[in-house]
Each structure stands twice: as C-alpha cells, then as structure tokens.
C-alpha cells in the first residue's frame, strides 16, 4: 500500500493523538496510570503516518454495526 493511502483505507479505523488534558481526563475517569493503557509500537504503520511519538496516547475510533461508535486507547511505545 502506498504511503499516505493507509489512513484512507476502509479497514483502518480513525487514529488521533490525544492532547495532554484529554489523557489526564481519561486516566482520571478510569482511575488508571498511563502505563496501564494497552500499548502500540512506534513501528506500526498508522502510528508512523500520524507522526505519533513514544509516550503519546492515541484514540482509535471504530464503527461497529452492533455497538455503534467504539473508542479504544493505545500508549505508543518504542
């Protein structure tokens, strides 16, 4: 797949780097530490494409025919 095309592919959900205040709200809501968020590697194609950095938290938005909009979060690691 050509560079730049990955984000528009129908099977790739929306990925976005969260702002620090959003991360703080997320951690407070779920009473967790940043290190407890599921991980995603810096080498992941989408992570490279959105230019996320180690330590960033990425919000992934998927559409589900059963559940509607589903949010998940990943901590970018080396």
CB count in 10 Å sphere of residue 75? 17
pLDDT at 27: 98
H or E segment to which residue 62 belongs? strand 57-64
Domains and CATH numbers, the chain: 6-77 (3.90.940.20)
* CA pair distance 78, 67, nearest whole angstrom: 32
Q: What is the pLDDT of residues 9-41, one digit of tens each?
A: 888 999 999 999 999 999 999 999 999 999 999
Beta bridge partners, 61, equal 14, 71
What's the number of CA atoms in the CB half-sphere (13 Å) around residue 58? 26
In the block, tokens 């998940």 appear at 72
Q: Is the pLDDT of residue 3 over 60?
A: no
Higher per-residue confidence, 10 vs 43? 43
């Amino acid at each position: 797949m050509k560079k730049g095309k990955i984000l528009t592919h129908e099977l790739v959900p929306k990925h976005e780097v969260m702002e620090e205040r959003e991360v703080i709200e997320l951690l407070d809501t779920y009473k967790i530490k940043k290190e407890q968020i599921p991980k995603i590697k810096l080498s992941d194609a989408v992570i490279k494409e959105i230019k996320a950095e180690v330590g960033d938290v990425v919000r992934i938005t998927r559409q589900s025919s059963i559940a509607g909009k589903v949010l998940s979060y990943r901590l970018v690691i080396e």
